[in-house]
């Protein structure tokens, strides 16, 4: 039973188990979604979600939030995308327990490149940071400051964290501020994230998006458009 193991022991056990599920052929096929080489085991996302849910069911009545965080931190040291993704998914089952003081640690994970590709960032932000934003709207101002970070993944998170809320017409003003602040960013992964954010914002208020695009058109990168 997982609850009888320490977070470190449980992490080591689950890493070994995930390696047994590895499919090198699927890993090779998945590499095409990344511009830079990444370390992949080749495990489908549906299987990762199943494993994360099963693990959470085993420890939810026994582990504290600090133990879950300790478990996840250990997994974040793995080079494999799927191992780190599973850590994020386990954390997502505990997202309602996080408080705004946790945001500083979340930013440190990004700044330390624990999530060093778009897939992990795009899994982490909607599942962890967006629920925290819903719970603590005042952190929106801090997320806006992330746009000035020297770290690519922190800047991408500034945009992606607002995508889920704008789908329900929340934080639209902040989302447009994020977009404006990132227009000058030369990284294509940032330009794509801004385009994604604006597209989702437009789905809830197309007229507002049209006015925004007309007002700032010359400043908007082609990739974003």
pLDDT tens by residue, 84-100: 999 999 999 999 999 99
Closest CA to 5 of 13, 56, 115, 207: 13
pLDDT tens by residue, 143-177: 999 999 999 999 999 999 999 999 999 999 999 99
DSSP string, 124-184: HIIIIIHHHHHH-GGGHHHHHHGGG-SSHHHHHHHHHTTHHHHTTT-SHHHHHHHHHHHTT
Greater model confidence, 219 or 209: 209
| pLDDT value for 217 | 85
Q: If you average pLDDT over residues 189-198, what whole number do you get? A: 97
Looking at the predicted structure, is the pLDDT value of residue 187 above 60? yes
Q: Phi and psi (nearest 5°) for 115?
A: -115, 85
Q: How confident is the model at residue 5 (pLDDT cuts 50, 70, 90)?
A: confident
| pLDDT value for 14 | 96
Q: What is the pTM of this model?
A: 0.94
Looking at the predicted structure, is the pLDDT value of residue 194 above 70? yes
pLDDT tens by residue, 20-76: 999 999 999 999 999 889 999 999 999 999 999 999 999 999 999 999 999 999 999
CA angle 76, 68, 22 (to 5 degrees): 45
Closest CA to 85 of 14, 28, 151: 14
């Amino acid at each position: 039973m997982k609850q009888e193991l320490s977070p470190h022991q449980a992490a080591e056990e689950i890493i070994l188990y995930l390696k047994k599920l590895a499919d090198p052929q699927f890993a090779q096929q998945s590499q095409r979604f990344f511009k830079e080489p990444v370390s992949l085991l080749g495990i489908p996302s549906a299987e990762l979600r199943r494993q994360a849910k099963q693990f959470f069911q085993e420890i939810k009545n026994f582990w504290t939030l600090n133990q879950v965080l300790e478990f996840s931190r250990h997994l974040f040291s793995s080079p494999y995308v799927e191992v780190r993704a599973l850590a994020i998914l386990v954390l997502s089952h505990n997202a309602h327990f996080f408080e705004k003081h946790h945001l500083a640690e979340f930013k440190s994970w990004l700044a330390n490149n624990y999530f060093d590709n778009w897939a992990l960032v795009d899994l982490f932000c909607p599942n962890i940071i967006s629920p925290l934003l819903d719970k603590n709207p005042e952190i929106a101002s801090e997320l806006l400051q992330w746009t000035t970070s020297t770290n690519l993944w922190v800047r991408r998170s500034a945009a992606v964290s607002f995508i889920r809320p704008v789908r329900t017409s929340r934080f639209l003003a902040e989302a447009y501020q994020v977009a404006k602040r990132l227009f000058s960013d030369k990284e294509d992964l940032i330009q794509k994230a801004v385009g994604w954010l604006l597209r989702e914002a437009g789905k809830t208020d197309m007229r507002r998006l049209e006015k925004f695009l007309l007002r700032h058109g010359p400043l908007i990168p082609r990739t974003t458009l």
